Amino acid sequence: MSHPVLVVLFFLIQATALFAEEPKVEVFAAAPYDRHIIYQALVFFWVGIIGLIIIITMKLREIKRIQNMGIDKEEKDAPFLD
Amino acid sequence: MNCQRLKGWFEERYDIEALGALVRSKTVPSHRFDAWYFAGGLTLFLFVFQFITGMALALYYVPHAEHAHKSIIDIVTKLNMGWLFRSLHHWGAQLAILVLFIHVFSTLLLKAYRKPRELVWFTGFIMLAISIFFGLSGYFLLWDERAFAAVRVATGGAGNLPLVGWLIKGFLRGGLDVTGETLTRFYAFHVAILPLVTIAITGFHILLVQLHGISVPLSQEKRQGKPEPFFPNIFYRDLIVWLVCLGVVVTLAVVFPPEIGRKADPLAPAPENIKPEWYFLFLFQTLKLFPGEMLGMNGETIAIVIISAAILFFFLIPFFDRRSASGHRSPLFTWIGIFYLVYFTAMTIIGFLT
Amino acid sequence: MKLDYSVVTRRAFLNTLFGGWVLAVTSGILYALIRFIFPTLGKEPDFVVLKKADFEGIPANSVKPFAWGGKLGLYFKKQDGTVQALKGVCTHMDCNISYKPDEKKFYCACHEGWFDENGRNIKGPPPKPLEVFDITTEGDKLIIAKRGVKVELPKA
């Protein structure tokens, strides 16, 4: 007689435990579609950063070239072409 | 867009020529250790990054004990890219403090603190303390179990300082215990008081560096190459370093977004295995070294006195290091610097692993 | 065909490339920032889910308010028992309207605008009728949706 009562009680307690468990907060997109969009955006971002670094290196090489030639200083009283 | 006319408009009102000449005259020394010079600017970049992401988050965060935790959950789950900005702010903070320590230890070991740059060191040390407090106060705003316990321990620890401990503890907590009052206080520190103080002191710190010029280590003084002009050479190299750092922060933020723990309950016991943020670990490992009672006195008080003395020594190092003040090599203080670095790193790692 | 002279100077080429790329990266970052700080400006939900039990039992010729995003929604049971859901926002200047059961009309106090039982604007400044929503039920849920929106509830 007590056996099925215990079983029912057991399930009831399990059910209440489910409510006591905090649902984990989703700190990142759950859907795979959204995840792929985020990783794609990350890739584009890195393309942007690395591209910028490459261009800056190009600029730095040019600056070194000019400085080594000694032509980097602008002459103050150079006349305008017009 | 007519750049020439715009330039002319300014030139008629301000002495742009002189300003340009001043900027172009700045140089940076060249020698074996000049790579370390990037650490200072990188710290500044990361703090500006924190200001921007912080201001964005402050638009939505609710600094009340009842709603704080929920407001962060709302930011992370309901706002466009809210999870990203919170994650960026978290990782930006970690990197900012890491780079700050790199900057501090490199200036220590290269003895940039020596005469005539003592004030640069002192303002820098103050900013280090402020940054640690930035980290603690920011972390607390999450109002989750871990943060709550961490602040209880940190303010409790501050309370053990001899003589002034109780005063500092009461001031930080806004009362006898950590409560909603503490949250209000820490919020005020984190978004208003500390930012303004930081801007003032950082401005002064950078101004002093401009006035003195950048310090050259003693061993390199006679071995310098030709100084590089800051603009455009170093400026663009700084930019590259900052861009790489930005890439690292963004990648960490996307790949490892931080969790949000359970809401804090002031009446609940501290969660298992509670550990403070990594930059506090070395302090807590040190406390663990001392037994409960030593020579008839409270072991923890002794530990705190010793730690305070070590920090005070660190702060006043320009005055203790007489040899480098007079321009001589000072190997003793190099070893002292290495000791501080190794101790800090080792204790942090041990604290992490246990 | 080989050119004798370069079309642009090295300086112009590098500076344009640099400036352009900086502009692209910065605008990408700014876009993210702006989307964050302007979250859901004016955005309304496509549908809301309510508890059927809370609304179906209201007396005839009365309204019960519900949240439509941040705005007012009205669940309206007419005298003859038929139900309707509409946005309780006046089409004149966005004030919240109220229901006058005696006159069986909706009234906006801001500028004395009147709407009839079906939401049509009949008197005063309102230029358009009230927005009417579709009502559907699913189990114990009451779903109020924008006209023409297909509602798909996530599998709980």
Identify the segments of chain B with pLDDT beneath 70.
Answer: 1-2
Contacts of C36 in chain B (CB under 8 A): 56, 79-82, 84-85
- Measured distance CA(A19)–CA(C143) in Å, rounded: 26
The 8-class DSSP code of residue A74 comes to P
Chains touching chain C through at least 3 C-beta pairs below 8 angstroms are: A, B
Kindly state whether C28 is in contact with chain A, defined as any CB-CB distance less than 8 angstroms: yes
pLDDT tens figures, B102-136: 999 999 999 999 999 999 999 999 999 999 999 99
Q: Is residue A44 part of a domain?
A: yes
Burial class of residue A66 in the structure, from the number of CB atoms within 10 Å of its CB (0-12 exposed, 13-18 middle, 19+ buried)? middle
- Measured distance CA(A57)–CA(A53) in Å, rounded: 6
More confident residue, A5 or B308: B308
Q: Is residue A58 part of a domain?
A: yes
Question: Is residue C42's pLDDT more than 70?
Answer: no
C24:A48 CB<8 A: yes
Question: Is residue A80's pLDDT more than 80?
Answer: no
pLDDT tens figures, B141-197: 999 988 998 888 888 878 887 788 888 898 999 988 888 899 999 999 999 999 999
Test mutation, A50, A62, A65, chain C, max C CBs within 10 A:
A62
pLDDT score, position A23: 61
- Measured distance CA(B199)–CA(B94) in Å, rounded: 20
More confident residue, B335 or C128: B335
- Measured distance CA(B294)–CA(B207) in Å, rounded: 47
pLDDT score, position B254: 96
Rounded (to 5) percent helix, strand, coil in chain B: 70, 5, 25
A45:C24 CB<8 A: no
- Measured distance CA(B75)–CA(B59) in Å, rounded: 10
Q: How many domains does chain A have?
A: 1
Contacts of A34 in chain B (CB under 8 A): none
Which domains, and CATH codes, for chain B?
32-260 (1.20.810.10)
Please give the C-alpha separations between residue B7 and each of B11, B15, B168, B254, B337, in angstroms, as whole numbers. Answer: 6, 11, 53, 41, 49
pLDDT score, position A1: 55
Q: How confident is the model at residue C40 (pLDDT cuts 50, 70, 90)?
A: low
C36:B85 CB<8 A: yes
Q: Is residue A8 part of a domain?
A: no
pLDDT score, position A72: 74
Chains touching chain A through at least 3 C-beta pairs below 8 angstroms are: B, C
Residue C134 DSSP SS3: strand
Question: How many other β-carbons are positioned within 10 Å of the β-carbon of residue B225?
Answer: 11
And the tokens for B207?
């101004």
pLDDT score, position A19: 46
How distant is the Cα of B2 from the closest Cα of chain C, in angstroms?
Answer: 15
Give a three-class secondary structure readout of C25-73: HHHHHHHHHHHHHCCCCCCCCCEEEEEHHHHCCCCCCEEEEEEECCEEE
ipTM over 0.85: yes
Contacts of A59 in chain B (CB under 8 A): 232, 236
Contacts of C14 in chain A (CB under 8 A): 55, 58-59, 62
The 8-class DSSP code of residue B221 comes to G
Q: Report yes or no: C37 and B56 within 8 Å, Cβ to Cβ.
A: yes
Q: Report yes or no: C39 and A76 within 8 Å, Cβ to Cβ.
A: no
CA A55, A57, A61, A64 dihedral sign is positive
pLDDT tens figures, C80-102: 989 999 999 999 999 999 999 99
C39:B52 CB<8 A: no
Q: Is residue A39 part of a domain?
A: yes
Q: Is residue A61 part of a domain?
A: yes
Q: Report yes or no: B274 and B150 within 8 Å, Cβ to Cβ.
A: yes
Question: Is residue A6's pLDDT more than 60?
Answer: yes
Burial class of residue C142 in the structure, from the number of CB atoms within 10 Å of its CB (0-12 exposed, 13-18 middle, 19+ buried)? buried
In chain C, where are the structural domains located?
A: 1-39, 47-145
C37:B84 CB<8 A: no
Q: Which residue has the tokens 């709550």?
A: B148
Q: Name the amino acid, one letter, at B186.
A: F
Q: Is residue A56 part of a domain?
A: yes
- Out of A27, A46, A49, name the one closest to residue B83 (CB): A27
CA-CA-CA-CA dihedral for C24, C30, C35, C37, to nearest 10:
180
B79:C36 CB<8 A: yes
Sheet holding C98-100, edge to edge: C98-100, C105-108, C113-115, C121-123
Stretch (H or E) spanning A8: helix A2-20
Burial class of residue B134 in the structure, from the number of CB atoms within 10 Å of its CB (0-12 exposed, 13-18 middle, 19+ buried)? buried
Q: Is residue A53 part of a domain?
A: yes
Q: Which residue has the tokens 């660190």?
A: B314
More confident residue, B227 or A21: B227
How distant is the Cα of C155 from the closest Cα of chain B, in angstroms?
Answer: 19
Mean pLDDT for the stretch of residues C112-140: 91
And the tokens for C72?
């007012």
Task: List the Cα angle C130/C131/C132 in 5-degree steps.
Answer: 110
pLDDT score, position B4: 83
And the tokens for B341?
């670095």
Q: Which residue has the tokens 């992370």?
A: B76
pLDDT score, position A14: 54
Sheet holding C83-87, edge to edge: C47-51, C141-145, C132-138, C83-87, C71-77, C62-68
C36:B52 CB<8 A: no
Q: At what angle do helices B235-255 and A32-69 cross, to 10 degrees?
A: 170
Q: Report yes or no: B243 and B38 within 8 Å, Cβ to Cβ.
A: no
How distant is the Cα of B229 from the closest Cα of chain A, in angstroms?
Answer: 10
- Whether domain C47-145 has CATH 1.20.140.10: the reply is no
Residue ranges making up the domain that contains A39: 31-71
pLDDT score, position B127: 97
Q: How confident is the model at residue C156 (pLDDT cuts 50, 70, 90)?
A: very low
Q: Which of A55-59, B350-354, C14-18, C45-49 has the lowest mean pLDDT?
A: C45-49
DSSP per residue, B20-34: HHHHHH-EE--STTG
- Out of B73, B83, B250, name the one closest to residue A28 (CB): B83
C28:A52 CB<8 A: no
Please give the C-alpha separations between residue B42 and each of B35, B52, B198, B312, in angstroms, as whole numbers. Answer: 12, 15, 16, 26
DSSP per residue, B134-153: HHHHHHHTT-BHHHHHHHHH
